[in-house]
Structure 1
């Protein structure tokens, strides 16, 4: 079950990190018969930074960032707690309904919801999404264009027809995803701007386990998460013999990413290979030229410090562990996102998750 739970150019082209895209995402997870794991968990994230947490054990919504605690009041958290408690009750009913629908009696099962919005700071383009998954597979998703639900499995058709008939709810859902959610995203960005809007340059290291292993370009400690890491050979970007790693969280809230290059010593000694790192919001490129003195190895190297392989390896392990813990907390690694675009922004004066006003509450399956 842990596996299930743990289940994003050449010369002449301008090669830069992607534009700053901000996001507000909520993840609801109901589970059954999972040892040492709450039956219901809610995680709220702004730009992939957790700012709200709720679980069925504590039955309290709590801030996970100082700036959320400072900029919100007691009423805000009481509303959040009430809304999450209502969702917890609905999700508990849902998971029993779905087990019957899939002809399942007992065992470990998960019922998940992922919803939220994104806003491109440069183009002002917005996107909204709302998707449910059962046991790690897509179950039903909201289509912003038609304001109806998409059912990818036969067992979801009943839910689709039921939810499609609730046109008022779907209209409110559309308004939330395209307007209210964007409004709250901008509010939260303002609340945490000293943290969320900062830029931190990367520490770049070249690592190699053995003389015959791929050379890894490891960039760590950067913020925000938007990054391009790529190898160049004699000024041209390499597309072959490359393996891109995922962008992972570090324990201090920054990010890391690795790109592996398979190349023989003869090739990199007779050609100019270099790793280029570009971070969103930072104009400077960070470059490491592949030379014998730059490679940090697990054999014969005694240089210690920021680029020490043991230090960097530890940071990598920590980042992986933190990333896995985050996935466990929200149980979303097994859900495929389906996002549709829609512009819009309107002010709101209530809690982000206040279903009476936001229009993004939950329905029974």
Structure 2
């Protein structure tokens, strides 16, 4: 389970204080028969995805608007680094398989590495980390205090001896984890902060799938997580039959949030329901009154002829199908030929990981 969670870019993370920040780069290499990309990389700032890369697309894709400030050349260089990192991690995976006597194994094997750093803005304390995991279990990790490698498996001793003797590489990792990574972390925090200060009002919509479905108040396009979406009934806060959604990240660096209200049409038509969106970033309140005209839906609740029109179309199609079947049967009988069968194979669904790959820092050059 741990491996799948990381491959999909999902982490079980504790709640931390606003003063505690982190920059993480997670890379995953796979071997064996799988529909996932052979290599994926994912970058997270404070546990929010900012960029991704995979061996299928071979391109670093920014997941926030502010990361583009480094310019197109920066993303191009990160793509080159990621492609090189793919080959290096792939080679490491084969070495580790050999050390586990699995070189001929046809099963799925995984190698993961997480490189990154943490910074406590209040105390100034920093920390770096560089663990490797093989097949979902700890394998080997870097000790910043001794500049040596700590093994978690007997099979990792060979790797430890080889990496311990590479003094220059270990000095590089010390500098990256304690200096370079912290510098990038602070720079990205500044970029994000300036983006959050943008005074762009959210877009608010009332959505409903069918007349009997819950009504969703959907706010999107805002730059701060501190947006509150609530429902009111006749001017009072309304919590009954209300389901709060999470604040989600959009690809352009903005956020979105939805709140669902389960209420019968006759109820909201006879009472005044309002969706209220409060954006502290621009100190403004946005209100949508629940009326039939405000609801956006694919279900045409206003046209009484819709049902009749759909019925007419369905009946017409059935008549065409029956007529074609009778014509085909008569033609076959007249020719005396045997019916032929067609082999229609449904396309196979391919499961592609939503892995968000990240923009890889120059650290991958040293893997």
1:238: Cα distance to partner? 2.4
Say which of 354, 359, 364 aligns to 1:327. 354
Q: Structure 1 residues 83 and 325 mapped into 2: Cα distance closer, same or farther (>3 Å)?
A: closer
CA distance in 1, matches of 2:212, 2:116: 45
Q: Structure 1 residues 276 and 171 mapped into 2: Cα distance closer, same or farther (>3 Å)?
A: farther
Per the alignment, residue 291 of structure 1 pairs with 291
Aligned residues: 296
1:102: Cα distance to partner? 10
Alpha-carbon displacement from aligned partner over 1:283-312 (angstroms, at most 9, x marks no partner): 32333343334322333368xxxxxxxxxx
Instruction: State whether residues 19 and 122 of structure 2, in contact with CA within 8 Å, keep that contact through their aligned partners in structure 1.
Output: yes
Where 1:299 maps in the other structure, the secondary structure is coil
Instruction: State whether residues 229 and 257 of structure 1, in contact with CA within 8 Å, keep that contact through their aligned partners in structure 2.
Output: yes
1:214: Cα distance to partner? 1.3
CA distance in 1, matches of 2:263, 2:142: 46
CA distance in 1, matches of 2:153, 2:276: 48
Q: 5 Å matches for 1:148-227?
A: 157-158=153-154, 180-189=180-189, 198-224=198-224, 227=227
CA distance in 1, matches of 2:90, 2:361: 19
Where 1:181 maps in the other structure, the secondary structure is helix
Q: Structure 1 residues 132 and 21 mapped into 2: Cα distance closer, same or farther (>3 Å)?
A: same
Q: 5 Å matches for 1:1-365?
A: 6=8, 24-33=23-32, 39-44=38-43, 48-50=49-51, 53=53, 55=55, 66-69=68-71, 77=77, 85=84, 88-94=87-93, 97=96, 101=100, 105-116=105-116, 139=138, 157-158=153-154, 180-189=180-189, 198-224=198-224, 227-233=227-233, 235-236=236-237, 238=239, 241-245=242-246, 247-250=248-251, 252-269=252-269, 273-279=273-279, 281-300=281-300, 327-330=354-357, 353-354=362-363
CA distance in 2, matches of 1:118, 1:277: 34
TM-score, scaled to structure 2: 0.53
Q: Which moved more, 1:109-118 or 1:181-190?
A: 109-118
1:113: Cα distance to partner? 3.5
1:106: Cα distance to partner? 1.5
CA distance in 1, matches of 2:86, 2:288: 50
1:199: Cα distance to partner? 4.6
CA distance in 2, matches of 1:238, 1:63: 40
The structure with the larger Rg is 2
Alpha-carbon displacement from aligned partner over 1:181-213 (angstroms, at most 9, x marks no partner): 332122245568775763532111111111211
Instruction: State whether residues 243 and 260 of structure 1, in contact with CA within 8 Å, keep that contact through their aligned partners in structure 2.
Output: yes
CA distance in 2, matches of 1:95, 1:235: 63
Where 2:355 maps in the other structure, the secondary structure is helix
Alpha-carbon displacement from aligned partner over 1:32-67 (angstroms, at most 9, x marks no partner): 2467875334344556332x7585996xx9785652
Per the alignment, residue 347 of structure 2 pairs with none
CA distance in 2, matches of 1:125, 1:242: 39
Q: Structure 1 residues 298 and 66 mapped into 2: Cα distance closer, same or farther (>3 Å)?
A: closer
Structure 2: 5+ residue stretches without partners: 11-16, 303-350
Per the alignment, residue 336 of structure 2 pairs with none
Instruction: State whether residues 42 and 330 of structure 1, in contact with CA within 8 Å, keep that contact through their aligned partners in structure 2.
Output: yes
After superposition, the CA RMSD in angstroms is 5.7
CA distance in 1, matches of 2:122, 2:290: 34
Q: Structure 1 residues 7 and 56 mapped into 2: Cα distance closer, same or farther (>3 Å)?
A: closer
CA distance in 1, matches of 2:229, 2:56: 40
TM-score, scaled to structure 1: 0.54
CA distance in 2, matches of 1:231, 1:160: 56
Q: Structure 1 residues 6 and 87 mapped into 2: Cα distance closer, same or farther (>3 Å)?
A: closer
CA distance in 2, matches of 1:289, 1:117: 46
Q: Structure 1 residues 105 and 127 mapped into 2: Cα distance closer, same or farther (>3 Å)?
A: same
Instruction: State whether residues 206 and 216 of structure 1, in contact with CA within 8 Å, keep that contact through their aligned partners in structure 2.
Output: yes
